[in-house]
Amino acid sequence: MSLLSNLKLMSQYNQWMNQKIYQAAQQLGDNKIKQDQGTFFGSLFGTLNHIYVADIIWLRRFAQHPQKYPSLNPLPELSSYTALNQTVANNLETLNQLRQELDNIIINWCEEINSQDLEDDLSYTDTKGNSYQKNFGQLIHHFFNHQTHHRGQASTLISQQGLDLGVTDLLKIIPEQ
C-alpha cells in the first residue's frame, strides 16, 4: 500500500472512530464527560476538544502547501486556535457537529493530495513560535497518529465509565483483497 493510499484509509478510520467515540460520549452526560480524570487534557471533553484544536492547527499548516488544497479553504483561521487546550465548544453536541464537518474536510483533502505532494517539505511554525521544515507526507502521518493516540485515551475514559466501544482496530475497515 502506498503512503497516499494509507493516508486515505486513515482519514476514513478517523471519521469512523470519531463517530464511535462521540456516540458513546453522548450516553455519559455533561457532568461525566467534563469531569477531570487526570489525563493530559483533564476530561473526556477536554481530550476531544484537544483533538479538534490540534487537527485545525495542523490542517491550517497543511493549507500552506504549494498545492493550496481547495478543501481546506473552509477551515477556521489559525489565529483562532492558539492553545492546545483552547475550548472551542461549550457542549458535546456542538463539538460533535464541528468534528463531523472537519472529518468530511479531512476525507476530501486526502482525495486532493497526490503522491508527489508527499515528497515535498513543508515549512511551518509551531504554537510556541519555533520554525520547522519537515517532510509533508510524514507530517500527515503524524497528524493521524496524534488523533489515534488521544482517541486511545478517550476510549479508555469511556471504558472506565462502563461503556463498550466495540471493535476499534484499523483492521476492521481495511478492505478485503
- Number of domains the chain is built from: 1
What is the per-residue pLDDT across 110-165, written as a single tens digit (0 to 9) for each? 999 999 999 999 999 998 899 999 999 999 999 999 999 999 999 999 999 999 99
* Position 79 confidence tier, pLDDT thresholds 50, 70, 90: low
**For residue 55, is it within any domain?**
yes
Any idea what the CATH number is for the domain that residue 65 is in? 1.20.120.450
Q: What is the pLDDT of residues 29-56, one digit of tens each?
A: 999 999 999 999 999 999 999 999 999 9
Residue 177 lies in a domain: no
Q: What is the SS3 assignment for the chain?
A: CCHHHHHHHHHHHHHHHHHHHHHHHHCCCHHHHHCCCCECCECHHHHHHHHHHHHHHHHHHHCCCCCCCHHHCCCCCHHHCCCCCCCCCCCHHHHHHHHHHHHHHHHHHHHHCCHHHHHCEEEEECCCCCEEEEEHHHHHHHHHHHHHHHHHHHHHHHHHCCCCCCCCCHHHHCCCC
Residue span of the structural domain in which 157 resides = 3-171
